[in-house]
Amino acid sequence: MSSHDLNGPLPHEPERATLEGRNKILGFWLFLGAETVLFGTLFSSYLALRHNTGDGPTPNELFQLPTVFLATMILLTSSLMSVFAVQSLHQKKVKPMIGWLLITILLGLGFLGLEIYEFTEYIHEGHQMPTSAFSSSFYTLVGFHGAHVAFGVLWIGLIILQIMKKGLTVVTAPKVYVSAIYWHFIDVVWVFIFTVVYLMGKVG
Amino acid sequence: MSSNHHSSHDETTTRHRVEGPKKHIVTFVLSLVLTLIAFAAVASGEINTAFTYIILVGMAVVQVFVQLSFWMHMKDKGHLFPTIGIIFGIIVVFTMVIMAEYWVWW
């Protein structure tokens, strides 16, 4: 950090200005590789078990495409908002960056609310965690994704608080960048969830 | 990045061209269209199952490729390691999915 001290002018691409920042980004990609494998195992168990519905409802009876489409739009838009936050970061505009991050987590909360509503509907329709192999693998996969969204909302919320307290520096910038990468990854996983779980569930 | 950092602020901003939002909006619109095609293919109910599956997987793969490239900055230089990591992840996931679909219930 010798060449870029905390109080000096912010360098170009501040998230990569220090070795620590670059290592943080590289390490985060390693984490995403592990996350890919984790979600891969959940997807493969869902694919293996999705036809075993027992006495419970089938995917075709359960899923409502309009709700899923709305959830998809919310998450896709929030992903765009977080890339705008990174652009503001590169332009060193702190206030717009915080604004984009706030919209990102608000949309994330909207997505979570919709998912909670969806799950309660399913439970009323007799689709609970222990109902069938399909329901267990469904809640594990989709719930795990939802937990990632919830974690992302908390994490980005804390980063916003830290930026407001400490400002945009070579220490805080990598956090914003890495959390945006995380948020895009959550959206990428959702692309496969709405494709493999919901749309393929409707097709049968 | 290789250019020197001693230049004045104005020079720095012109030298390091800060990208506009255009390509991200294009990525968003493209993702939207691919999503709409996938939903429409299922909602219409007029396309046979096998072909619907091909459309769904195709749309998802293209959308994820576009988002990884632009939103997750994998198109930018210095992303060899993330690319290797993602390819490794895809190989593992592909193996597990094939196993789940074709081997578990033999």
Q: Domain limits of chain B?
A: 21-75, 77-106
Question: Is A93 an 8 Å CB contact of chain B?
Answer: no
**If residue B17 lies in a helix (H) or strand (E), which one and from where to where?**
none
Number of neighbours of residue A68 by Cβ within 10 angstroms: 21
Residues from chain B that touch A65, judged by Cβ atoms under 8 A, are: 39, 42-43
ipTM of predicted assembly, 2 dp:
0.89
Residue A73 lies in a domain: yes
Nearest residue on chain A to B104, alpha-carbon basis: A48
Query: What pLDDT shows up at residue A201?
Result: 95
CA distance A101 to A123: 33
Question: Is A10 an 8 Å CB contact of chain B?
Answer: no
> Each residue of B70-91: pLDDT tens digit?
999 888 888 898 898 888 888 9
Query: What pLDDT shows up at residue B100?
Result: 86
CA distance A183 to A140: 20
Query: What pLDDT shows up at residue B86?
Result: 87
Higher pLDDT, A34 or B18: A34
Domain span at A121:
20-25+36-45+63-203
Question: Is B90 an 8 Å CB contact of chain A?
Answer: yes
Nearest residue on chain A to B59, alpha-carbon basis: A195
Mutation target vs A (from B52, B97, B104; most A CBs, 10 A cutoff):
B97
Least confidently predicted of A74-88, A143-157, B4-18: B4-18
Nearest residue on chain A to B81, alpha-carbon basis: A26
Picking from A58, A75, A66, A60, the residue whose alpha carbon sits closest to that of residue A113 is: A75
| Residue that the structure tokens 């399913």 belong to | A122
Residue A10 lies in a domain: no
Residue A98 lies in a domain: yes
Question: Is B93 an 8 Å CB contact of chain A?
Answer: yes
Number of neighbours of residue A20 by Cβ within 10 angstroms: 11
- Provide the 3-class DSSP secondary structure of residue A126: coil
Residues from chain B that touch A13, judged by Cβ atoms under 8 A, are: 1, 16
**Number of domains chain A is built from:** 1
Residue A191 lies in a domain: yes
Residue A13 lies in a domain: no
Question: Is B4 an 8 Å CB contact of chain A?
Answer: no
Token pair listed for A132? 């069938």
Question: Is A28:A182 a contact under the CB 8 Å cutoff?
Answer: yes
> Each residue of A126-173: pLDDT tens digit?
999 999 999 999 999 999 999 999 999 999 999 999 999 999 999 999
Query: What is the pLDDT averaged over residues A49-63?
Result: 93
CA distance B36 to chain A (A): 9
Token pair listed for B58? 């195709």
Residue A50 lies in a domain: no
CA distance A89 to B64: 24
Picking from B73, B55, B66, the residue whose alpha carbon sits closest to that of residue B32 is: B66
pTM: 0.90
Token pair listed for B78? 């210095």
Chain centroid to CA B74: 9
CA distance B106 to chain A (A): 11
Report the CATH number at residue A77: 1.20.120.80
